[in-house]
């Protein structure tokens, strides 16, 4: 018989190391209109649309996940704004009981037209990826043009009323050092919250090497050299991966250092790929096939479907490793690149 205590435990996603999972990253497509060196190959081949989860399937998974304690969602990809009808999906997800926060990570190219409909659909927060303000460096990283569109997208997001707009910048040695200070000045001026992210071994061309990682500490040094000392900001949410500092001019800059300072011990994230695979880590080498469960259930009108999805998700969480292990002898690169997982 189920005791009240175990019944409570069954409604949260807790792994073997005591980490409670409340955050689900949902990839809505593997397609993209850029080809960032650290994420996607130039000749990327994308999945047929029929393999991607339909909105109803995503919604079903999220309802089950919310019943197990997932509270925040982040839509990602590939480039999520390429998924037709995205505001409709946002509306459906925002309305799910238990979901407190729906956010989006985008490269911003299509934001000019979509910021207002997304805000109207109830999207709360926006992360825009922008590694460089110099058009040449932007093109060297993204391998396509688009800087002007990103800037127009940011302006549109501001007009649409997004309160918190974060800029995510991946730092790569030998490529982005000269962008660090201009990005900080830009974000300070515009009131955006800037976060530098270390380059992780998730590029499609397997060209990553530790030597290319421009660490958060080094980026901080570059900022301090030009702008003056950064003051540490107390961490409000222990699950937040970024370590924040105050810039001399008053803005906040954060550092996400998964390579030099992994935050695995407080990781509360799970992932759902665009074609419906649960993953318990960016670097997971196993997946749990929610799409198979969803589509097998179609024939029997979905009887017991929620229970099967819940069991799958619990199994995924239970198998989570203590840490990603980058830099250790045991580390294995996942077969998928970032665009196929969802960052
Ligand atoms: N296309 C959207 C974008 O670029 O924001 C969403 C998907 S992208 C995979 C999500 C985030 O992952 C972006 O901020 C991107 O810069 C980051 N990213 C991709 N590959 C990475 C890598 N190898 N190391 C660190 N961050 C990476
Ligand atoms: Fe596209 Fe985002 Fe990957 Fe760049 S990081 S290739 S924008 S999915």
User: d(Cα 68, Cα 279) in Å, to the nearest integer?
Assistant: 16
CB 68 within 8 A of CB 314: yes
Cα–Cα distance for residue pair 325/166, rounded to 1 Å: 28
Give the pLDDT of residue 10: 64
Query: Which token pair is 112?
Result: 């000019």
Per-residue pLDDT of 280-339, as tens digits, reads 999 999 999 999 999 997 666 567 999 999 999 999 999 999 999 888 888 888 888 999
CA–centroid distance, 142 to ligand 2, in Å, is 8
Give the residue, by CA position, lying nearest to ligand 2 atom 3. Answer: 39
Neighbouring residues of 134: CB distance < 8 A, sequence distance ≥ 6? 178, 179, 182
Q: Does residue 339's CB lie within 6 angstroms of at least one atom of ligand 2?
A: yes
User: In which band, very low, low, confident or very high, does the pLDDT at 4 lie, cut at 50, 70 and 90?
Assistant: very low
CA 144 – ligand 2 centroid, Å: 11
- Is 4 inside any structural domain? no
Residue scoring higher pLDDT (140 or 336):
140
CATH number (domain holding residue 254): 3.20.20.70
Q: Please state, for a pLDDT cut of 90, what percent of the chain lies above it.
A: 85
Q: What is the DSSP letter of 37?
A: T
Q: Which of 88, 121, 118 is nearest to 105 (CA)?
A: 118
Task: Report how far apart the first and last C-alpha atoms of the chain are (Å, whole number).
Answer: 41
Question: Which of 28, 38, 39 is the pocket-test mutation for ligand 1 (most atoms within 8 Å of CB)?
Answer: 39
Q: Can you point out the beta strands (E) in the chain?
A: 13-14, 20-21, 23-27, 72-76, 101-106, 125-129, 165-171, 193-198, 231-232, 243-246, 252-256, 269-272, 277-279, 288-289
Residue 172 DSSP symbol: B
- Total structural domains in the chain? 1
**Looking at the chain, how many residues does it have?**
343
Q: Establish if 1 belongs to a structural domain.
A: no
For position 299, what pLDDT does the model report?
A: 62
Question: Mutate which of 47, 167, 337, 338 to test ligand 2's pocket (most atoms within 8 Å of Cβ)?
Answer: 338
Residue 34 in any domain: the answer is: yes
Position 83 scores a pLDDT of 98
**In the predicted model, what is the mean pLDDT of residues 276-281?**
97
Kindly state the DSSP code that residue 41 receives in the 8-state scheme. Answer: -
Task: Give the DSSP letter of residue 327.
Answer: T
Q: Is residue 294 part of a domain?
A: yes
The whole-angstrom separation of Cα 53 and Cα 40 is 21
Residue 3 lies in a domain: no
pLDDT confidence bin for 249, thresholds 50/70/90: confident
For ligand 1, the distance from its centroid to the CA atom of residue 281, given in whole angstroms, is 15
Ligand 1, CB within 6 Å, residue ranges: 32, 38-39, 76-77, 79, 105-107, 129, 168, 170, 197, 199-200, 202-203, 338-339, 343
What is the extent of the structural domain holding 49? 9-341
How high is the mean pLDDT of the chain?
93
Segment 78-102, tens digit of pLDDT: 999 999 999 999 999 999 999 999 9
- Residue 2 inside a domain? The answer is no
Contact 99, 71 (CB under 8 A): yes
pLDDT class for 235, splitting at 50, 70, 90? confident
| pLDDT of 70 above 80 | yes
Mutate to test the pocket of ligand 2, among 25, 144, 339, 343 (most ligand atoms within 8 A of CB): 339
Residue 213 DSSP label: B
Mean pLDDT of 249-265: 92
Residue with the two structure tokens 């962008």: 179
Contact call for residues 253 and 183 (beta carbons, < 8 A):
no
- Given pLDDT bands bounded at 50, 70 and 90, which one contains residue 206? confident
Report the nearest atom of ligand 1 relative to the CA of 168.
14
């Amino acid at each position: 018989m189920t005791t009240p205590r175990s019944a409570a435990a069954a409604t949260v996603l807790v792994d073997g190391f005591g980490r409670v999972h409340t955050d689900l990253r949902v990839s809505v497509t593997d397609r993209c209109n850029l080809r960032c060196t650290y994420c996607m190959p130039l000749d990327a081949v994308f999945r047929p649309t029929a393999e991607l989860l339909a909105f109803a399937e995503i919604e079903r998974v999220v309802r089950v996940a919310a019943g197990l304690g997932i509270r925040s969602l982040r839509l990602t990809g590939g480039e999520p704004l390429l998924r037709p009808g995205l505001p409709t999906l946002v509306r459906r997800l925002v309305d799910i009981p238990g979901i407190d926060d729906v956010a989006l990570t985008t490269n911003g190219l299509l934001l000019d037209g979509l910021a207002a409909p997304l805000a109207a659909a109830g999207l709360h927060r926006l992360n825009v990826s922008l590694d460089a303000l110099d058009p040449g460096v932007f093109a060297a990283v993204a391998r396509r043009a688009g800087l002007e569109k990103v800037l127009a997208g940011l302006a549109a997001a501001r007009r649409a009323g997004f309160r918190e707009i974060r800029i995510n910048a991946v730092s790569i040695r030998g490529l982005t050092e000269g962008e660090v200070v201009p990005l900080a000045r830009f974000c300070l001026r515009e009131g955006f919250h800037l976060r530098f992210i270390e380059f992780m071994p998730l590029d499609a061309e397997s060209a990553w090497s530790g030597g290319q990682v421009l660490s958060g500490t080094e980026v901080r040094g570059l900022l301090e050299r030009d702008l003056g000392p950064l003051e540490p900001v107390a961490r409000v949410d222990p699950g937040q991966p970024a370590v924040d500092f105050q810039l001399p001019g008053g803005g906040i800059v954060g550092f996400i250092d998964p390579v030099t300072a992994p935050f695995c011990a407080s990781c509360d994230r799970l992932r759902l790929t665009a074609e419906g695979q649960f993953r318990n880590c960016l670097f997971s080498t196993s997946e749990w096939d929610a799409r198979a469960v969803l589509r097998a259930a179609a024939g029997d009108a979905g009887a017991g479907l929620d229970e099967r999805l819940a069991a799958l998700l619990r199994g995924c969480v239970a198998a989570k490793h203590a840490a990603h292990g980058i830099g250790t002898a045991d580390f294995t690169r996942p077969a998928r690149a970032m665009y196929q997982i969802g960052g």
